[in-house]
Structure 1
């Protein structure tokens, strides 16, 4: 369970260095991210800025320390997909199984619903044989959060001299009614 001193707040570009520190571990030490080189500070800052233009980006903080982050981003990038979004979450190494991921995703879901987003998708590294670089904990977490496996790309990622799968998982969070307008996160209040 998340301790009472952990709070979820909106991320800002001023968090970039700490967010990049968290992400660097996953690039350098795991196959959770299929990125093979840690992005430079300026590139990563640009990613944060771009996300904040239209989508929610939250951080989990305890005693001024960022323990994790989650955000939404465009799914595919064509306007017909505006009511769908991709989810991303990273926790500072050693902070899993504390309820932080659940708290971040709950906040992301609430924001997504206010944006009229109906479908959430997550792209996840996956393996038939767990090793020191990749377990299937992320897929298990998403399943626990109500996501369903909808697709698998076999041996599509090569990292650390090994081949890994990628799976897509989906969660429907809204009704597919009359087409609604996608609302930019920056236009939504009360978060």
Structure 2
């Protein structure tokens, strides 16, 4: 596998939408119930770019096999240095180290963008996502019980957190 991690381009939107659709329709890591369209993904890529936030694609043999992006945790000025990550790997490519490489690259890019803390909001408390984040230095900071309802059952949300770089001893702003 010759995995490349690079910034997402609008031309990646259809592949990203296809990866995400499988997670929406079959999993609980996202509480979305309707897959996003390629146009919606294009808009998200553009928003991230315009705000200086990272949106990355993992590519193997010219094909996207995963993606990750970071957005400000909340839309209030005091949260400007705290981001939330989103990461998804193609269902047929999980367990191959793609997620670890992608999340490591995202953490570095988010730090360069000026973020000092990264929060993972893990729908359904998905064990694979919790394990991935744990391997990358995230620690468990909370659980909201029965806050999502999907596939006929109530689901928890797990919160994990990681300092980026030196974290809060540094002021907000690009590294």
**TM-score, length basis structure 1:** 0.84
How big is the shift at 1:157?
0.5
Q: Which residue of 2 aligns with 1:165?
A: 156
Contact 1:148 1:171 in 2 (8 A): yes
Contact 2:140 2:159 in 1 (8 A): yes
- The residue correspondences of 1:62-141 to structure 2 (distance < 5 A) are 62-127=60-125, 135-141=126-132
The Cα RMSD (Å) is 1.6
From the superposition, tell whether residues 37 and 179 of structure 1 become closer, same or farther in structure 2 (CA, over 3 Å).
same
Contact 2:116 2:172 in 1 (8 A): no
How big is the shift at 1:178?
5.3
Contact 1:126 1:164 in 2 (8 A): yes
Gaps of 5+ in 2: none
Structure 1 CA distance, aligned partners of 2:156 and 2:172? Answer: 35
Contact 1:70 1:90 in 2 (8 A): yes
From the superposition, tell whether residues 114 and 155 of structure 1 become closer, same or farther in structure 2 (CA, over 3 Å).
same
2:30 is aligned, of 17, 28, 33, to 33
From the superposition, tell whether residues 45 and 150 of structure 1 become closer, same or farther in structure 2 (CA, over 3 Å).
same
Gaps of 5+ in 1: 128-134
Contact 1:34 1:159 in 2 (8 A): yes
Contact 1:73 1:86 in 2 (8 A): yes
Is 1:179 the counterpart of 2:145? The answer is: no
Q: Which residue of 1 aligns with 2:49?
A: 52
Contact 1:26 1:33 in 2 (8 A): yes
Contact 1:109 1:173 in 2 (8 A): yes
Please identify, of 47-56 and 60-69, the stretch whose mean Cα deviation from structure 2 is larger. 47-56
Task: Write out per-residue CA displacement over residues 59-90 of structure 1, whole angstroms, 9 at most, x where no aligned residue.
Answer: 11111111100111111121111111111100
Q: How many residue pairs were aligned?
A: 173
Structure 1 stretches of 4+ with a deviation exceeding 4 A read none
